[in-house]
Homo-oligomer: A and B are copies of this chain.
């Protein structure tokens, strides 16, 4: 049990031992409530067949919501990125979860992600713009460029989520790569 608990993120050997000890002290009813909760979630939560985010429903609540704008699709790496948007960003379009990003060093190629599924979804019609919101680092940028090239023949707009100075931040404390990017991504204020 300690070995299995130790595989959870943020749980080292010492924490795994403490968790295991806690489970041993639980009465039988509590312990089976815990295992049942895990088994139920694993049985119920599956990727949405449209956007591939983890959800109890299929289609998921976002894909099923008629008030969301289906013509804009924001492409993210993981389901947790959707939660970041849904918290407060006022984004009203839909999503597509890649299930990671291209990483030649880790042996993750296009076939390991839901790229074919995204292209099929676009070919299905009704989508006018794809916003690629992979993380703003080397692999995320490379994945964005790869996707843009794949989507280009389908004749819809492809954009990259804006990179630059974070809101509320200060120039003085920006690292030089962010400053450089912010100069490149400057926005016209006049015509």
Instruction: Specify the main secondary structure of chain A where it touches its partner.
Output: mixed
In the complex, chain B residues whose CB is within 8 Å of the CB of A189: 132, 144-145, 148, 158-160
* Identical chains bound together, number: 2
B residues near A175, Cβ cutoff 8 Å? 166-168
Pair B157/A190 contact, Cβ less than 8 Å: yes
Interface size of A in residues (CB-CB distance below 8 Å): 56
Q: Is A151 an interface residue (CB 8 A)?
A: yes
Neighbouring B residues of A91 by C-beta, 8 Å: 179-180, 183
* Inter-subunit contact A182/B158 (CB<8 Å): no
The residue of chain B having its C-beta at the shortest distance from the C-beta of A180 within the complex is B89
Report whether B171 and A84 are in contact in the complex, using a CB–CB cutoff of 8 Å: yes
List B contacts of A117 (CB < 8 A): none
* A71 to B177 CA separation, bound complex (whole angstroms): 23
* Least CB distance, A49 to chain B, in whole angstroms: 23
Kindly identify, within residues 124 to 172 of chain A, every residue whose CB is under 8 Å from any CB belonging to chain B: 131-133, 135-137, 144-145, 148, 151-152, 157-172
